[in-house]
């Protein structure tokens, strides 16, 4: 789809939310800019997951759930966290007030392209007070965060409109194209080289590769000596319970964000990505690595009777360790190995007793797993002891806020890993230690969610425009 000329003003690697909003703001402010987006996945209308029909993964390369226009955001639950306290490190880099401003702007763009005007978590102060009281009693910290819920299928439509808008504005997009390398001369980014042998030049290159591309970018940084720090690894399970158990939290907060420091190890554990009446799903990464995730749909026909959410343990490592992404992948691979490339599921009762869940015991449950091809097994063969203890202590604490979560039949799916561990060192304009190369979004460990990633895209576009004017 690209024109004959291979010279551009800006090249954006990756077409996830941060890349989309960067392109949107650039073309909005300066319609004559030549912008190229390079995406290893497909156009949004060609992103279909055969598993919806076949019920089993057929190993698409690249995976349609994690790659393509809108990135993992297209099929995610589509929750926009409207608080700067949630979803990334933008306040640390840009300041709190500036982040608030950018979140409002990115939110307005979502509204302009059709997002639901309803916001959860702002009108139920009495109920939220009650949840906070219970949380304090259990030593949990409730982080209040208003949420706009797009829903998986509505989010898909909104991103489709954004794709059409950008194309209509003249933004060029290369799909099914992998960036092999970035050409850097005298510590200045000059061009990108694709797997199709094309070289595209631009004075400004933005790496907006998302979690899916964090490993790729980590190798680029190593090869070119781009400054990075060892980031955090988030590893844990996806928990599934009946909707009735989570009803009070779901109704009043939609997503209760709770943070806990465990009594035994003082590790930080948090709840993440709650999907009321949702379904547990598998995500596939490079080399077929299967990790667990969850979705929730807006339309009634897709709703289930179960709520799922993640419990993630944050691990920070010190020297000489420097490969957090590999560490997370290694744990996920152990689980894949035991389940023939599928997701492992265990009841909390079996988890506590240290025994494997069997098909027969799973069938006794009131709770029917929404991930149909999950394999009953034993998470203690996968997780280090410390993470097992952290997960158990978190569930017992959550049980004090919403009784029934620590029931024997609660389902734990493993492994959920968040690959945003390659913390690229950036300045307040998101420029790396290489001039003209900027790193934004989840893949640079700057953000951890749709809304901050989108806001990050807007802010970096303004930095680029400011530099062009100077």
Q: Give per-residue pLDDT as tens, 58-116.
A: 778 888 778 999 988 777 778 899 999 998 999 999 999 999 999 999 999 999 999 99
Question: What is the pLDDT of the chain when averaged over all its residues?
Answer: 93
**pLDDT-wise least confident of 227-241, 336-350, 364-378:** 227-241
Top CATH class of 10-115+150-229+422-469 equals: alpha beta
Rounded mean pLDDT, 423-432: 95
* Interatomic CA distance for residues 17 and 212, integer angstroms: 13
- pLDDT bin (cut points 50, 70, 90) of residue 2 is very low
With contact defined as beta carbons under 8 Å apart, do 374 and 238 qualify?
no
pLDDT at residue 59 in the model: 75
CA-to-CA dists, residue 163 to 168, 401, 459, angstroms: 9, 42, 20
CATH 3.50.50.60 in the chain, residue ranges: 10-115+150-229+422-469
- pLDDT bin (cut points 50, 70, 90) of residue 121 is confident
Whether 431 has a pLDDT exceeding 50, the answer reads yes
Q: What is the largest CA-CA distance in the chain?
A: 69
- pLDDT bin (cut points 50, 70, 90) of residue 230 is confident
Whether 378 has a pLDDT exceeding 90, the answer reads yes
With contact defined as beta carbons under 8 Å apart, do 155 and 44 qualify?
no
Name the DSSP class of 114: T
Rounded mean pLDDT, 401-409: 97
pLDDT at residue 454 in the model: 97
- Summarize pLDDT for 337-349 with one digit per residue, the tens: 999 999 999 999 9
- pLDDT bin (cut points 50, 70, 90) of residue 137 is very high
With contact defined as beta carbons under 8 Å apart, do 330 and 256 qualify?
no
129 Cβ contact partners less than 8 Å away, ≥ 6 residues apart? none
395 Cβ contact partners less than 8 Å away, ≥ 6 residues apart? 239, 311, 348, 405, 406, 410
pLDDT at residue 122 in the model: 81
pLDDT at residue 3 in the model: 44
Whether 316 has a pLDDT exceeding 90, the answer reads no
DSSP helix/strand/coil, 382: coil
pLDDT at residue 459 in the model: 98
pLDDT at residue 422 in the model: 63
Question: Residues in the chain, how many?
Answer: 470
């Amino acid at each position: 789809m690209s024109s004959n000329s291979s010279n551009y003003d800006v090249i954006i690697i990756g077409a996830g939310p941060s890349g989309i909003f960067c392109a949107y703001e650039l073309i909005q402010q300066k319609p004559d800019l030549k912008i190229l987006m390079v995406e290893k996945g497909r156009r949004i209308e060609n992103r279909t997951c055969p598993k919806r029909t076949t019920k089993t993964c057929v190993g698409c390369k690249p995976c349609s759930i994690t790659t393509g226009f809108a990135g993992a955001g297209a099929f995610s639950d589509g929750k926009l966290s409207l608080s700067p306290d949630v979803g990334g490190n933008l306040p640390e880099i840009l300041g709190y007030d500036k982040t608030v401003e950018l979140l409002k702007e990115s939110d307005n763009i979502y509204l302009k392209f059709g997002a639901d005007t309803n916001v959860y978590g702002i009108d139920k102060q009495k109920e939220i007070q009650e949840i906070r009281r219970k949380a304090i009693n259990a030593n949990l910290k409730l982080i209040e965060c208003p949420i706009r819920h797009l829903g998986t299928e509505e989010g898909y439509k909104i991103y489709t409109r954004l794709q059409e808008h950008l194309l209509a504005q003249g933004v060029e997009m290369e799909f099914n194209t992998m960036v092999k390398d970035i050409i850097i001369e005298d510590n200045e980014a000059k061009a990108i080289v694709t797997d199709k042998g094309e070289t595209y030049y631009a004075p400004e290159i933005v790496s907006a590769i998302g979690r899916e591309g964090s490993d790729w970018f980590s190798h680029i940084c190593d090869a070119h000596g781009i400054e990075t720090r060892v980031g955090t690894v988030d590893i844990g399970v996806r928990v599934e319970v009946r909707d009735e158990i989570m009803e009070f939290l779901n109704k009043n907060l939609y997503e209760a964000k709770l943070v806990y420091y465990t009594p035994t190890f003082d590790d930080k554990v948090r709840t993440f990505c709650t999907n009321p009446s949702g379904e547990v799903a598998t995500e596939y990464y490079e080399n077929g690595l299967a990790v667990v995730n969850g979705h929730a749909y807006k339309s009634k026909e897709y709703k289930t009777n179960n709520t799922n959410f993640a419990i993630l343990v944050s691990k920070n490592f010190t020297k000489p360790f420097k490969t957090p992404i590999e560490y997370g992948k290694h744990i996920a691979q152990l689980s894949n190995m035991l389940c023939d490339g599928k997701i492992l599921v265990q009841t909390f009762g079996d988890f506590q007793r240290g025994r494997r869940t069997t098909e027969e015991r799973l069938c006794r449950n009131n709770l029917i797993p929404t991930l149909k091809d999950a394999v009953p097994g034993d998470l203690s063969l996968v997780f280090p002891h410390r993470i097992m203890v952290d997960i158990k202590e978190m569930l017992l604490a959550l049980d004090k806020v919403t009784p029934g979560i620590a029931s024997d039949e609660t389902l734990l799916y493993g492994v959920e890993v968040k690959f945003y561990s390659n913390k690229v060192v950036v300045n307040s304009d998101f420029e790396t230690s290489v001039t003209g190369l900027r790193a934004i979004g989840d893949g640079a460990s700057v953000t951890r969610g749709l809304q901050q990633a989108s806001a990050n895209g807007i802010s970096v576009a303004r930095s680029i425009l400011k530099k062009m004017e100077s």
